[in-house]
């Protein structure tokens, strides 16, 4: 929570800076500035710290809503639905982007692309049904919320829900491309 608060504070300051200095710029430039300067603050190493508490998730999503209002010059809160505005900008929810980052990291772990030994942290499942993928992993048991919502236990649930053609992708780029429409 303290990491999220620090991230939100820094993103709010940067958004205020952009608002003061790019007030009369075109929408496309404002969107580029948001995507280049603010979104990376909200997503840097998010596979490691992806929040599970609703308050933390909402605090991050609130920054994106403020960013959309800034880009579209819709500063009156009763003016329009900000959810529609975000969809018009074609910005996915930050929680979905963090989920995709976690799954991408899991793909890297499972395929030896990072220095995290998969066999130490995960075990391939021996049970298989028609509705499961061929790279299904055994779910880790957790006795505390901190561990239950940490990277491996949380990501294994999402990994097991993916289609077989996604988890058996031959390359990282193929995995990412197949994962995007799977929201």
Q: Average pLDDT for residues 105-132, to the nearest whole number?
A: 82
Q: How sure is the predictor about 176, in pLDDT bands with cuts at 50, 70 and 90?
A: very high
Q: How sure is the predictor about 79, in pLDDT bands with cuts at 50, 70 and 90?
A: low
Given a contact cutoff of 8 angstroms between Cβ atoms, the answer to whether 147 and 153 are in contact is yes
Report the sign of the C-alpha dihedral through residues 47, 49, 51, 52, in that order: positive
* E strand or H helix at 21: helix 2-21
The predicted-structure confidence for 124-138, as pLDDT tens digits, reads as follows: 876 666 666 777 888
Given a contact cutoff of 8 angstroms between Cβ atoms, the answer to whether 63 and 42 are in contact is yes
Tokens read off for 182:
């799977």
Residues 93 and 83: their CA atoms lie apart, in Å, by 10
């Amino acid at each position: 929570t303290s990491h999220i608060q620090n991230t939100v504070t820094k993103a709010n300051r940067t958004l205020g800076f952009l608002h003061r200095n790019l007030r009369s710029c075109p929408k496309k430039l404002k969107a580029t500035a948001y995507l280049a300067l603010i979104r990376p603050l909200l997503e840097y190493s998010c596979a490691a710290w992806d929040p599970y508490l609703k308050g933390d998730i909402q605090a991050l999503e609130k920054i994106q809503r403020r960013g959309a209002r800034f880009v579209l010059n819709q500063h009156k809160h009763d003016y329009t639905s900000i959810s529609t505005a975000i969809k018009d900008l074609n910005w996915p929810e930050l929680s979905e982007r963090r989920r995709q980052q976690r799954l991408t990291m899991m793909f890297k772990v499972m395929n030896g692309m990072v220095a995290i030994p998969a066999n130490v942290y995960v075990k391939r499942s021996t049970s298989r049904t028609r509705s499961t993928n061929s790279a299904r992993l055994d779910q880790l048991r957790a006795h505390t919320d901190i561990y239950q919502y940490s990277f491996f236990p949380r990501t294994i649930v999402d990994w097991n829900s993916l289609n077989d053609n996604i988890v058996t992708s031959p390359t990282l780029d193929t995995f990412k491309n197949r994962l995007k429409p799977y929201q």
